[in-house]
Structure 1
Amino acid sequence: MKAFTIKKYDKKVALKLVDMPLSILKENDVMVEIHASGLNLLDSKIKSGEFKLILPYKLPLTLGHDAAGVITQVGKNVKQFKVGDEVYSRPSDFSIGTFAQFIAVNEKDIALKPKNLSMNEAASIPLVALTAWQALVEKANLKKGQKVFIQAGSGGVGTIAIQLAKHLGATVATTASEKSFAMLKDLGADVLIDYKREDFEIILKDYDVVLNSQDTKTLEKSLRILKPGGKAISISGPPTPDFAKAISAPWFVKIILSLISSGIRRKAKKLGIDYSFLFMRADGMQLREISKLIEQQVIRPVVDRVFSFEQTNNALQYVESGRAKGKVVIKIK
């Protein structure tokens, strides 16, 4: 099969299209012929080596964390899926590789593709929707009547998180450029802040939850708009010792993460804020819950551009530019 791989961590070197054998199908795996794959900033960060402490992958490595396609083969212990099923997935860490024609995925990490989505639309969903779910439902336990600040509303996570938060009954504030306001209002955002001209710290106060996806300076400002007892959940760092413990990281990684997150944890504690870092995980059961919301038209995908498989490097550059509204997808079949 054809796949886009890296031989070393490097921000500037392009992915290389190579021929490689199919993965060995394990007893609980299904083989998926990939029709489309979504791109994420995580792919770029792994490529540059930014996550090599947390995710020590063996190289060469095929990138890609989102897939939609058709099952062509099932392992002998697979119970929930059959050949011919249309599925989508965020494969688990160390089993990624959706910038390819095929991938073997554990059945616990997949769900049937929502019937009302195309393959391209479905490929845009898993990583960002699971991120939003794990932040707002699992960590924040967001309730009706609460207020949530979702940064960068027009991004991949933001467009889904806004819709999920509204479904949960929250008031949603977000930052974006003014040209994205109409789209974000349509998705359900209540308070729209033009990050180029306005300061969210002046406009927002007494919020219950912040979903941070920006830099540490923005995160520190976000702590100050929360009410005491509020929750700051960051998907862009800094990672915490609790996270290191959850992934069973080596002792030296725990020490490093403790040091780099000590400042923000101290500031959060002083303000009575619960700070946590979220590195989303694969979860087929949660993806099935998300599928129900998509089929009920509570959540809809936002796809900015679709590139051909051969244009994967161009697609990744476009994601890195920060100009995308919603998700970028590569069409493989």
Structure 2
Amino acid sequence: MSPPVPLPQTMKQLLQPSVQSTRLILTTAPVPIPTAPDDVLIHVAAAAPCAGELLWAKNFPDSVPADKEMVPCQDLAGTVVQSSPSSSSPFKPGDRVFCRVDASRAGTAREYALAKVSELALIPEGLGWVEAAATPLSALTAWQALFVRGTLDVAGLTGEGEAVEKNKGKRVLVTGAAGGVGSWAVQLASLAGAGAVVAVCGAGKEDAVRKLGATEVVDYTQTSIEEWVAADPAAREVDFVFDVVGGKTLAGCWRAVREGGALISVNTPPDMVRPAGLEKEVGKSLFFIVEPLGSNLAEVAELIRAGKVRPTVDSVWPFEQFEKAFEKVESGHTNGKIVIKVGAEEV
């Protein structure tokens, strides 16, 4: 049982007053109290928004509880304050932690937030608040897409053994490769030993994605995926596509994936945009929603600690400039994650 910690009665938080509008307000609210056995109260240092999140409740009402307190941002980095009196949490007051809070619950754009034990991981030494807040959603999504849902063998991350040889035979294509999720996917696919990592990104981002591990780059502003693969299908077709963009980009990926390959998207079910008349059978075609698993995040943290991967941060915004932060997120033109400074800690 954690010792009692003096807490303020109220805190600052962002709130979405109506799910029919993306308007946010900065307001005050009571500090939440950890009551469930797996609750952990976190003093939030930084949080990170996600593109499209202010439309989730409107567009997917069945996936968002009607009684959810509409606080945005599901990613946080902060300090453990206390756990539920009945908790046997391994996380102690003062621990620096990060996580993604499940989207069915209030988010983390608030000075104090509740997380579940299963969602949390310790921040690796040397990683600051901003980079830590930029990590959970992006890293978890890429990890699960490549190694849980996809066809790369996670054991390849060790750099030795049969998994390395297995992964070496795979060509992987990542859309949105310079963004928050895509930049992680490029790093992890490269680290796992993929034979080729094709990064699809915008103009001026080639050097950045090559530094992350991309072996080939497609500038979608100059060349469509269809045009790129048509120039040399035998050499350019890929075994595995990981898409974060959807729409025409994902439709183009059907031309790039080879017969029997895999199409994984976190934007749109791939079959919804399959080109009419395309006669190609893939081994796997699926859409998934990330699971906020602290166990996966702890594995990512170990790679960060070892200096093998690193989050990519586009920009950092003061809490009071939340509107500009969300505008930047929704622009669709970021190099990594947007982070909002929430707490008073030096970030």
User: CA offsets, 1:215-246, max 9 Å, x none?
Assistant: 3332222122112221100110138xxxxxxx
Q: Which moved more, 1:213-222 or 1:284-293?
A: 213-222
C-alpha separation in 2, matches of 1:208 and 1:35: 40
Distance 2:320 2:276 in 1: 47
Paired residue for 1:319? Answer: 329
Does the 8 Å CA contact 1:30/1:78 hold for their aligned counterparts?
no
Where 1:179 maps in the other structure, the secondary structure is coil
Q: Which residue of 2 aligns with 1:184?
A: 209
**Which residue number corresponds to residue 260 of structure 2?**
229
Report the CA distance between 1:268 and its aligned residue.
Answer: 8.3
Question: Deviations 1:131-163 (Å, cap 9, x if unpaired)?
Answer: 000100101131233111100111110111100
Aligned equivalent of 1:61: 70
Residues 140-219 of structure 1: pairs in structure 2 closer than 5 A = 140-142=150-152, 143-170=167-194, 171-204=196-229, 205-219=236-250
Query: How far off is 1:168 after superposition?
Result: 0.8
Contact between 1:67 and 1:123, CA under 8 Å: does it hold in 2?
yes
TM superposition shift of 1:94:
1.6
Deviation digits for residues 23-59 of structure 1 (CA, Å, limit 9, x no counterpart): 2312211100000001211423326x22323334435
TM-score, normalised with respect to structure 2: 0.84
After superposition, the CA RMSD in angstroms is: 2.1
Letter paired with 2:203: E
After TM superposition, give the deviation of residue 114 of structure 1 in Å. 1.4
Aligned: 1:298 with 2:302: no
Compared with structure 1, are the counterparts of its residues 208 and 74 closer, same or farther at alpha carbon in structure 2 (3 Å cutoff)? same
Which residues in structure 2 correspond to 1:26-175 (within 5 Å)?
A: 26-46=36-56, 49-58=58-67, 60-75=69-84, 76-142=86-152, 143-170=167-194, 171-175=196-200
Equivalent AA in structure 2 for residue 194 of structure 1: D
Displacement of 1:281 after TM fit? 1.2
Q: Give the counterpart letter for 2:253 in structure 1.
A: S
The SS at the match of 2:205 is helix
Counterpart secondary structure, 2:110: coil
Number of residue pairs aligned between Structure 1 and Structure 2: 310
**Could you tell me which amino acid in structure 1 is paired with residue 263 of structure 2?**
A
Distance in 2, matches of 1:58 and 1:88, equals 25
- 1:10 paired to 2:41: no
Query: 1: CA distance between counterparts of 2:121 and 2:295?
Result: 7
1: CA distance, partners of 2:137 / 2:172: 20
User: 2:78, 2:96 within 8 Å by CA — same for their partners in 1?
Assistant: yes
CA distance in 2, matches of 1:220, 1:296: 37
Residue type of the partner of 2:186?
A: I
Unmatched 5+ residue regions in structure 2?
A: 1-10, 153-166, 230-235
Letter in 2 for 1:166: S
TM-score (normalised: structure 1): 0.87
Given that 2:174 and 2:185 are in contact with CA atoms closer than 8 Å, whether structure 1 keeps it comes out as yes
Q: Contact 1:29 / 1:78 at 8 angstroms: preserved in 2?
A: no
Q: Distance in 1 between matches of 2:18 and 2:279?
A: 39
Secondary structure in 1 matching 2:264: strand
- CA 1:130/1:268 → structure 2, altered by over 3 Å: closer, same or farther? farther
Q: 1:268 to 1:71 in 2, by over 3 A?
A: farther
The answer (yes or no) to whether the contact 1:95–1:105 under 8 Å persists in 2 is no
The letter of the residue matching 2:293 is D
**Identity, % of aligned pairs?**
32
Q: CA deviation at 1:189?
A: 0.8
Amino acid at match of 1:189: A
Give the superposition deviation at 1:211: 0.9
CA contact (8 A) 1:151 1:158 kept: yes
Gaps in structure 1 of 5+ consecutive residues: 240-260
**Contact between 2:46 and 2:130, CA under 8 Å: does it hold in 1?**
yes
Rounded Cα–Cα distance in structure 1 between residues aligned with 2:277 and 2:98: 40
Question: What is the CA–CA distance in structure 2 between the aligned matches of 1:274 and 1:266, rounded to whole Å?
Answer: 18
Q: CA deviation at 1:202?
A: 3.1
Give yes or no for contact 1:3–1:62 (8 Å, CA) kept in 2: yes
Change (3 A) 1:59 1:137: closer
SS of corresponding position for 1:41:
coil
Cα deviation, residue 22, structure 1:
2.2
Q: Shift in Å at residue 310 of structure 1?
A: 0.9
State the Cα distance separating 1:99 from its structure 2 match: 0.6
The 3-state SS of whatever aligns with 1:228 is strand
Q: Match for residue 253 of structure 1? A: none
- Superposition deviation, residue 116 in structure 1: 1.6
Computing the radius of gyration from Cα coordinates, the structure with the larger value is: 2
